Structure 1
Amino acid sequence: MIILVHDNNKVVALLNVNLEPIDVSLNKHIATALIDLSKQFPKTLIIWCHEAFVQSINTTALQSVFHHKRILASYNPSVVNYLPNQIGYIDREFFLKIKTSVSYPTWLTSSNIGGVNSSVINSLLHQLNPKVSFDYFLNSLAKRAMVAGLFCYSEPKLLQENTSAIVETQQASVSDLFLFVKQHYKWVWVFFLSISYFVYEKKIVLFPLLKSLFFKQLSTDLNLEVLSIQSTKTTSDIKTIDVIIPTIGRKQYLYDVLRDLAAQTLLPNNVIIVEQNPLMESVSELYYLKTEDWPFTIKHTFTHQSGVVNARNIALSQVRSEWVFFADDDIRFDKYLLEHSFKTINQFGISILNYLCLLPNQKQLFFRLQQTSIFGSGCSLVKSEALKATLFNSAFEFGFGEDSDFGMQLRNKGYDVIFVPHIKITHLKAPIGGYRTIVKQRWADDAIQPKPSPTIQLLYQTYFTDQQLLGYKLLLGLRSYKHSAIKNPMTYIKYFNKQWKRSQFWSRQLN
């Protein structure tokens, strides 16, 4: 391991793990020095650190933080990031509102302290531009490489708990922000960013906009697959699995799911089924749970209370195994699903994985194992320790967003969600069962209907930054205008604002 010490402007020292000086001649420009170090030491962990934090490096945690080669982690003890909050106007993912007290997945990277294996830098040499500031260099690297399979985190364990030093982050200028957006997002977003500045901050940012147009978008076609991975973290011990399945009116589809589970080369211990039927005189129709022999224990709950949120929470209360497979009642999968899952879990040291879930004739578009802001409540495998004191939020019942909210609860506890494209589930999208009742939302009779759905408003209010929420509002308003019967712009804006306020009102009522 090598520690590269800087003062924000230049390299001031190189140290080993014992914080002793290393005599290596390097360029004083920090990004260039990082690249040069990677060439000279091609298979080592390189830590960058502001000189104010050298004595606060938590060297005992580095092995657990960087438990495989494809991890980039940094930490910013300041409340100010290099990229200003306005980046939220154009970014819609859950990576910006960082919970700094836990390990949190994000491409927002800090020069205060961080690290990456030199093999990552060497794999991307021809894609990196060391002539920019070090913070720009790091954020650009993480933003582009995260979608290529680099695991990026805000990691408080990099510093000792009693660290009191604070270094004021040198924030990017408005011009640098526009340049970053132009190089890392589709070109249209620089125009949307300028509109957001005008609408919400009453600023005209014409020069940064025009200047950014002279730059091309940087490629995200980065190849990190050449880096073989074997995590040093022990994630799974006994490989016991509980499967939870909420179901309503789909007895044949559920039967097929159970047959797929029974054929697994690694069998689950328990299958927890929560069957719903709102008809008060009804009884269970799942006769085959008792008439057939199953190679696992079936825990069956029958309830007249409908709702997938309630059903999954009932099932979660019955979990006893080390892992939980969140399944739907209309999916199909091959016999190696669970066995192959643990090969991936142990290889990458992960605690939550999302399977590739496609409709029968749907084409696969994503092929890289990577961090994701999505959580699939019907196609995920989760370590049970992550689920302690975690439930699906009943505010989302019969609405949208309960799975995204659940995934965010897990991230805010320090767990990452990894998309695994090589383990596949087929989602049959079965017709709605015959015992479902139409749920009338509380806002159904409002003279002005809320926009967006109050559950989506609640989700974004909770997990978006202020700028992300404002950017979403502006984008929703623009997209809705072309479908609106109101064509007078001023009249439309007034009406849309009323819809937004009704959405806010009902989201508060739900919460």
Structure 2
Amino acid sequence: MIFLKHNGKKPVAVLKDGQPLELEFKNQAVSAACFLLAETFPDEILLWFHEEIESSLNLEFIENFSRESEMWSYAANQPLVIAEEMGFVDQSVFFRIQPGVKYPTWLMSSTVGLISCKKLVHFKEYIPVHSNFDLFLCILAKTGMSKGLRVYSEPRLIWSSSKSILSFSKNTKATYTAIATLMGKKWLILFALQLLLYRKKLNLFQLAKSFLIKSIPQRDIPHFEVSPSDLKNVKPVIQFDLIIPTLGRKEVLKQTLIDLAEQLLLPKSLILIEQNPDTASVSELDYLQSQSWPFQIRHTFTHQTGACNARNLALDQVEADWVFLADDDLRIPSDFLQKADAFIQTEDPQAFTVSCLQEGETEVEKTVFQWPAFGSGCSFVKASALENIRFDLALEHGFGEDADFGMQLRKTGVDILYNPFLKLIHLKAPSGGFRKPVEKPWDNENPGPKPVPTVLASILKHATPAQVQGYKTLLFLKFYRLQQIKNPFSYIRLMQKRWKVSLFWAKKLLNSK
């Protein structure tokens, strides 16, 4: 392991396996020194830290780092270089950093962190060297995320992390540079306009200066290679419970069960929650008893509809090591669970979503990477991670419950990966015959809410203040071309009213618990 000690501007000392290295940096920036060390020692792990926190390093934890595909850092009471206002243009879950857990985020810090030298060299041709080391690390992390680098804020890098407070910068200078480098000029303009609209601030000089910055050529950067063939010859050791809520799809569900019965690695049990709002009805799934199935089926029949409630009923019955949350209209390859088992043993995730496309669609992703979403119909989660996690019933019969469930996981330190090599076919079957629209308390509002209150409730629950404002701006802009009012002033007045209606009901949902 290579230790790089710096003072925030320049390298101070370099050690390898505890011994000082005599390397000539010629007053290089810390970021340039990182690239030099990575090229010189490609098989090592590079640890950087500010000289002021050397005594706080958790060396025992650091020296056990073995995740070559990961990058860790922690701010340790130092403000992050990015301003909270970047949430105007970055709506992702990776901007909602959590202080007390290992959290997936590109918001890196020069205070302390580490990365595999081999992974760092991968980006040398594409990432510019910055004198601002914090900014360099953030640009590296955000660029790397889409290519398969997994980046985290990791509080265990230092001792007494429970006392640490993570905060954003009060200066937007580095934020302008980050947006120009990572996102491009149209996002710079949108950022500046919102900074003026919501914060009454505008830095025309910095905006003009940022326009001269060249964006990173994201498409030219190769992905980290993860071959699905590497996952085959692993002895199965994991037990899976499968969760499927269903409503009025008897024949489609039967095909899904047949696919499960043909798995090379059979599930331990299928937890099936059947719903029918007709209080005089009984189960229509006669084949559960009339046919023989090679796994246990725990069948619950309820007159209460709603996927959130159904999945929560199922989660209370989980006994296996891992849970697969599935839709009732999937085609599942026979080696699906076997490959999932191998992936878990190889990559040691705690949660991951798999490719779930309709017939004829093509998977465009090329590597395993950190996923900003969560698919409640095509995801695996380690059972131990679900102990205090449930679907929010306040979001029932709406949209946003998947995103909310994913954020609940992340806030406990569970990252969600996306695996494009594990593939399902989503039939998108028609709704069952006895489904009917569920009346919402805001259905009679005039004008109607925009966005749907359940979506806004999920955003309010987890997003930063700037992200909420940025979501509102982007919603207004995107929806403008889809509606009939073309007078922009009339449109804005109407959308403001609709937003206020949505905000009222979203807050009511969140306060209804």
Q: TM class by shorter-chain length?
A: over 0.9
| 1:294, distance to aligned residue in structure 2 (A) | 0.8
Correspondence 1:45 to 2:45: yes
User: Contact between 1:68 and 1:348, CA under 8 Å: does it hold in 2?
Assistant: no
The one-letter code sitting in structure 1 at the alignment partner of 2:180 is: K
The one-letter code sitting in structure 2 at the alignment partner of 1:400 is: F
Aligned residue number for residue 15 of structure 1: 15
Distance of 1:369 and 1:483 partners within structure 2 = 35
Percent of paired sites with the same residue: 38
| 1:160, distance to aligned residue in structure 2 (A) | 1.2
Alignment of 1:121-136 (within 5 A): 121-136=120-135
| 1:439, distance to aligned residue in structure 2 (A) | 0.6
Aligned residue number for residue 144 of structure 1: 143
**After the TM superposition, which of the residue ranges 214-223 and 423-432 deviates more from structure 2?**
214-223
Residues 52-87 of structure 1: per-residue CA shift (max 9 Å, x gap): 1111111111255x3321111101123731011111
**After the TM superposition, which of the residue ranges 309-318 and 347-356 deviates more from structure 2?**
347-356
Alignment of 1:468-479 (within 5 A): 468-479=467-478
Aligned residue number for residue 337 of structure 1: 336
Aligned residue number for residue 30 of structure 1: 30
Q: Secondary structure at the match of 1:354?
A: strand
| 1:246, distance to aligned residue in structure 2 (A) | 0.2
| 1:134, distance to aligned residue in structure 2 (A) | 1.1
TM-score under structure 1 normalisation? 0.93
Aligned residue number for residue 61 of structure 1: 61
User: Contact between 1:103 and 1:414, CA under 8 Å: does it hold in 2?
Assistant: yes
Residues 375-430 of structure 1: per-residue CA shift (max 9 Å, x gap): 11010111100100111000111000111111111111101101000110100000
The one-letter code sitting in structure 1 at the alignment partner of 2:153 is: S
Distance of 2:162 and 2:314 partners within structure 1 = 42
User: Contact between 1:370 and 1:420, CA under 8 Å: does it hold in 2?
Assistant: yes
Q: Are the structure 2 counterparts of residues 249 and 162 from structure 1 closer, same or farther at C-alpha, using a change threshold of 3 Å?
A: closer
Correspondence 1:347 to 2:346: yes
Distance of 1:268 and 1:300 partners within structure 2 = 15
Distance of 1:227 and 1:395 partners within structure 2 = 39
Residues 221-243 of structure 1: per-residue CA shift (max 9 Å, x gap): 423535899x9xxxx99411100
Pick the aligned partner of 2:205 from 199, 207, 229: 207
**After the TM superposition, which of the residue ranges 464-473 and 181-190 deviates more from structure 2?**
181-190
Q: Secondary structure at the match of 1:325?
A: strand
Q: Are the structure 2 counterparts of residues 328 and 161 from structure 1 closer, same or farther at C-alpha, using a change threshold of 3 Å?
A: same
User: Contact between 1:69 and 1:227, CA under 8 Å: does it hold in 2?
Assistant: no
Root-mean-square deviation (Å): 2.4
TM-score under structure 2 normalisation? 0.93
| 1:211, distance to aligned residue in structure 2 (A) | 2.3
Aligned residue number for residue 394 of structure 1: 393
Aligned residue number for residue 324 of structure 1: 323
Q: Secondary structure at the match of 2:125?
A: helix
Distance of 1:168 and 1:256 partners within structure 2 = 51
Distance of 1:307 and 1:378 partners within structure 2 = 14
Q: Are the structure 2 counterparts of residues 195 and 406 from structure 1 closer, same or farther at C-alpha, using a change threshold of 3 Å?
A: same
Aligned residue number for residue 309 of structure 1: 308
Aligned residue number for residue 501 of structure 2: 502
**After the TM superposition, which of the residue ranges 285-294 and 197-206 deviates more from structure 2?**
197-206
Pick the aligned partner of 2:181 from 183, 191, 197: 183
| 1:436, distance to aligned residue in structure 2 (A) | 1.1
The one-letter code sitting in structure 2 at the alignment partner of 1:48 is: W
The one-letter code sitting in structure 1 at the alignment partner of 2:139 is: S
| 1:26, distance to aligned residue in structure 2 (A) | 3.1
Aligned residue number for residue 263 of structure 1: 262
Alignment of 1:187-266 (within 5 A): 187-220=185-218, 221-225=220-224, 238-266=237-265
Distance of 1:413 and 1:176 partners within structure 2 = 30
Alignment of 1:350-499 (within 5 A): 350-499=349-498
The one-letter code sitting in structure 1 at the alignment partner of 2:126 is: Q
Q: Return 5+ residue gaps in structure 1 as ranges.
A: none
Residues 343-367 of structure 1: per-residue CA shift (max 9 Å, x gap): 2222222111111010112222222
The one-letter code sitting in structure 2 at the alignment partner of 1:253 is: V
The one-letter code sitting in structure 2 at the alignment partner of 1:10 is: K
Q: Are the structure 2 counterparts of residues 495 and 34 from structure 1 closer, same or farther at C-alpha, using a change threshold of 3 Å?
A: same
Q: Return 5+ residue gaps in structure 2 as ranges.
A: none
The one-letter code sitting in structure 2 at the alignment partner of 1:111 is: S
Number of corresponding residues: 505
Distance of 2:420 and 2:491 partners within structure 1 = 43
User: Contact between 1:70 and 1:227, CA under 8 Å: does it hold in 2?
Assistant: no
The one-letter code sitting in structure 2 at the alignment partner of 1:362 is: E
Distance of 1:474 and 1:219 partners within structure 2 = 27
Distance of 1:166 and 1:200 partners within structure 2 = 25
The one-letter code sitting in structure 1 at the alignment partner of 2:496 is: N
Residues 449-499 of structure 1: per-residue CA shift (max 9 Å, x gap): 111111111111112111111011112122333444444444433332222
